[in-house]
Amino acid sequence: MPDIGLRFNKDIIVVDGALGTMLQKEGIPSDECGMLLNVLDPEFIVNIHQRYIAAGAQAITTNSFGGTRAKLADYGLEDRLFELNTAAVRLAKQAKAQHVLADVGPCGLVLEPVGSASFDEVFDQYAQQVKALASEGPDAILIETMVDIADARCAVLAARSVCDLPIMVSCTFDATGHMELSGTDPQTAAAILEGVGASVVGLNCGLGPEQSLPLARSMAQATSLPVIIQPNAGLPQLDASGATVYTGTPDEFAYAAVALRDLGVQFIGSCCGSNPAFTSGIYATVGEMDVVGRKAASHEQLLVASPVKTVALGKDLPQKTIGLRIDTATDPELKDQLAKGSLSRVRQLGELQEKAGADLIGIHTEGVLLDGSPALPAAVKALMGFISSPLVLDGADIDALEEALRLYPGRALITGASHDDDGFERVLALAATYGAAVAKGNADKDAPLKIEGCTELKGALAEEAVGELSHAGAAGEQQATAAELASAKELLKEAILCGDCEATPTHVDAVVACGMPAQSIVVGLLTPTLQELGEAFASGEAFLPQMIVAANAMKVAVERIKGHLPETEKDRVAGKVVFCTVAGDVHSIGKDICVALLESQGFEVFDLGVDVSAEEIIAAARDKAVDVICLSALMTTTLPTMKEIVARIYAELPDYGAGQGKAVAVGGAVITAQWAQANKALYSQDAPGCVTLVQQVVAEL
């Protein structure tokens, strides 16, 4: 096989289409591991590859999308990781493709703060799979369908650690133009992934060709790297029988391929719902063409990025402001809190500076330990769930800097590290490894903490304003004024919105001390805060990380509120809910957020987990006498299962039928209001909407 790298940004390369769709059409059940076919029926997989090649595919993706240890563990196959992944590459080679792309999908674990998995756990998942795939000599590694930029970035780092193949990364964006879990836009994704060492960037799945075009344009304009685009065969819809279908056509893909080439896209393929006919349409229009040249990225600017925001610095660009209040050298109270293991002030100062207009947030914690370790990584971790502004990290402590860079899911800016030539070289090496930028001022030893194109945020952070952060609740219960109560309520609200679980209990105490009855806090403060967050989420101003940290802080607030309630009210609940992801689907993130928000509003939630059968759901609903049964699904292949489960619930638990008081609610990425209505279930588009829906059902009982 020719070196695929020699073709980058030269000629169009047509990539194959959906493999899962082909398996399902051949009768392979969706709840079976498709990778087993690599050893049980290898000729079947080779035949699918050859059909795509005959249609014009010049690059074939291996049958290894779910090949991480965590994914294979869902089928009890984790110990066969090496066997199944290496077989996948061999079969693609056997099909005689021009190029073999070793396919890597999401690993099955969700990184903090969105999930509970650590960076090292996720890193190891990807490294194991890529090492196995690379051992068979594919042309490149294709990391695809990534919905969290932190996950994508970690996967690239892991892949680079075990092989020297080109790393292609394809992200999935929702209808708002953002990666679902991290809220990352195409330009920011390109900046972060290019910085961390990706060879090709792009998008796949989620959207059809029409919806993908503007996102492809944004990504192509943001990078000089080759771009890969593989849309779905249109948006999923319901047919007359209630089954999910993709209505896109090969002709639409042929038309879209021309538009994609005009944008400078090099790798063009298709995703869910497609087949070799779509590949044929792409090849017929652009298969023998060269790549359209794009304007080279400017080297006169320095790009830094958080997961949701890119900031360009340069002498010919508008000046940006940097907040420098998170500095233990100038803030004794911050230093004291960190030494005691508290990160509350870090979060508060970060939020305060961002609201004051800081484009960048600096962190300097040199020489301070938190729980026996350098404080810098912990401070970065505390901020990366809700601060939109990119971070500027002090590079004096090389070991602490490296750990912070590993964790940070953006493109940080490093400054203050030019104490000697050796130290500066180490900083440059870390920046290259982890995709960070280095302030040009670092080359000037006489002016190390200087950043070209950036000025310090001044005036908006008066010391008295910062001081108020530490003195909530000072007013006594009898002496509190209306203004003091309003201030205490606002501080509690802000602590919840920024996910400050440490400070939340103190603020709850302060609100109660200022005269607000504990019984009123959930309805009078937490619920409006949830509604505000839900509106921001719906408008694209807030994303899942903010939802998750806020939900956790709300749960902490509810627990603290219970301590202020009379004994007769401490065990009172707003209602009872059974929640689960249906059989055949192992996604949990949407469910987890809904559960957290429901609990924060006083509901007792019985979380049955993922891949739950109708029998388990019905038994739990009957045993717990719940008011609402909430079902989640993120995979189109599990829609028939959800339909069957809803029908069985109505048949065996008639109290939950339409108009009977209790209810069944459904939601998830693949569920639509139309689907829910067709199956006589209630529907919620997102987690805040789920809470509102459940509240309405319970209120009518």
Q: How would DSSP label each residue in 550-569?
A: HHHHHHHHHHHHHHHS-GGG
In a 13 Å sphere around the CA of 297, the CA atoms on its Cβ side amount to 18
Pairing assessment for the beta strands 236-238 and 244-246 based on DSSP bridges: antiparallel
- pLDDT at residue number 223: 94
Among residues 428, 373, 425, 445, the alpha carbon closest in space to that of 404 is found at 373
In the numeric block, which tokens belong to residue 551?
A: 């939900």
Q: Is 496 within 8 Å of 557 (Cβ atoms)? A: yes
Q: Is 634 within 8 Å of 669 (Cβ atoms)? A: yes
- pLDDT at residue number 276: 97
Q: Specify the fold of 302-461.
A: TIM Barrel (3.20.20)
Angle, helices 186-195/149-162, rounded to nearest 10 degrees? 20
- pLDDT at residue number 186: 97
Place of tokens 């500076």: 353
In the numeric block, which tokens belong to residue 245?
A: 């279908």
Cα-based distances in Å from 79 to 120, 371, 613: 20, 36, 26
- pLDDT at residue number 134: 98
What is the Cα–Cα distance from 28 to 48, expressed in whole angstroms?
Answer: 13
What is the Cα–Cα distance from 7 to 5, expressed in whole angstroms?
Answer: 5
DSSP 274-327: --HHHHHHHHHHHTTPBPPP-PPPPSSSEEEEETTEEEEE-TTS--EEEEEEEE
Q: 515's torsion region: left (phi>0), alpha (psi -120 to 50) or beta?
A: left
What is the Cα–Cα distance from 667 to 658, expressed in whole angstroms?
Answer: 17
Angle, helices 482-497/504-513, rounded to nearest 10 degrees? 160
Q: How far is CA 51 from the centre of its chain?
A: 34
Q: Residue 388 burial (CB < 10 Å; 0-12/13-18/19+)? A: middle
Q: Is 132 within 8 Å of 82 (Cβ atoms)? A: yes
**What DSSP state is assigned to residue 390?**
P
- pLDDT at residue number 633: 87
What is the Cα–Cα distance from 314 to 316, expressed in whole angstroms?
Answer: 5
Say what the pTM is.
0.88
CATH-assigned architecture of domain 471-568: Orthogonal Bundle (1.10)
In the numeric block, which tokens belong to residue 350?
A: 């970060």
Q: How far is CA 666 from the centre of its chain?
A: 22
The 10 Å Cβ neighbour count of residue 85 is 30
Cα-based distances in Å from 46 to 49, 61, 420: 5, 11, 57
What is the Cα–Cα distance from 167 to 411, expressed in whole angstroms?
Answer: 18
Q: Residue 537 burial (CB < 10 Å; 0-12/13-18/19+)? A: buried
The 10 Å Cβ neighbour count of residue 700 is 10
Q: Is 177 within 8 Å of 171 (Cβ atoms)? A: no
Q: Is 389 within 8 Å of 352 (Cβ atoms)? A: no
Is the backbone peptide bond immediately before 545 cis, with ω within 30 degrees of 0? no
Residues of the chain with CATH 3.20.20.20: 302-461
SS3 (DSSP) at 267: strand
Among residues 217, 224, 199, 185, the alpha carbon closest in space to that of 306 is found at 185
What is the Cα–Cα distance from 431 to 425, expressed in whole angstroms?
Answer: 10
What is the Cα–Cα distance from 372 to 369, expressed in whole angstroms?
Answer: 5
Select the CATH number that applies to the domain covering 4-286 from these four: 3.20.20.330, 3.40.50.920, 3.30.1050.10, 3.40.50.2300: 3.20.20.330
Which CATH number is associated with domain 573-700?
3.40.50.280
- pLDDT at residue number 540: 78
For CA atoms 535, 538, 543, 549, the dihedral sign is positive
Q: What are the mean pLDDT values of the chain's consecutive 10-residue runs (701 residues total)?
A: 87 94 80 90 96 97 96 93 98 96 94 87 98 98 96 97 97 91 94 96 94 96 96 81 79 95 97 95 95 76 92 88 92 92 91 91 90 91 88 90 95 77 84 88 50 73 47 50 90 88 92 90 87 83 82 88 80 89 81 85 90 93 94 81 92 82 88 88 89 90 72
Angle, helices 375-383/344-355, rounded to nearest 10 degrees? 50
- pLDDT at residue number 463: 46
Q: Is 285 within 8 Å of 257 (Cβ atoms)? A: yes
What are the two backbone dihedrals, phi and then psi, of residue 646, each rounded to the nearest 5 degrees? Answer: -60, -45
What is the Cα–Cα distance from 146 to 155, expressed in whole angstroms?
Answer: 10
What is the Cα–Cα distance from 590 to 486, expressed in whole angstroms?
Answer: 33
What is the Cα–Cα distance from 614 to 581, expressed in whole angstroms?
Answer: 11
Name the CA dihedral angle for 683, 688, 694, 700, rounded to a multiple of 10 degrees. -100
Place of tokens 């009890």: 76
Q: 57's torsion region: left (phi>0), alpha (psi -120 to 50) or beta?
A: beta
Residues of the chain with CATH 1.10.1240.10: 471-568
Q: Which helix H or strand E contains 607, and what residues bound it?
A: strand 604-607
Residues of the chain with CATH 3.20.20.330: 4-286
Residue partners of 433: CB distance under 8 A and separation at least 6: 157, 197, 405
Q: Is 686 within 8 Å of 534 (Cβ atoms)? A: yes
Question: Looking at this protein, which amino acid is placed at residue 649?
Answer: I
Q: Residue 328 burial (CB < 10 Å; 0-12/13-18/19+)? A: buried
What is the Cα–Cα distance from 642 to 580, expressed in whole angstroms?
Answer: 11
- pLDDT at residue number 555: 87
- Summarised one tens digit per residue, pLDDT across range 45-68 is 999 999 999 999 999 999 999 999
Beta-bridge partners for 363: 326, 393
Among residues 168, 250, 158, the alpha carbon closest in space to that of 204 is found at 168
Q: 525's torsion region: left (phi>0), alpha (psi -120 to 50) or beta?
A: alpha
Q: ∠ CA 179-413-157 to the nearest 5 degrees?
A: 55
- pLDDT at residue number 526: 87
- pLDDT at residue number 444: 47
What is the Cα–Cα distance from 64 to 41, expressed in whole angstroms?
Answer: 15
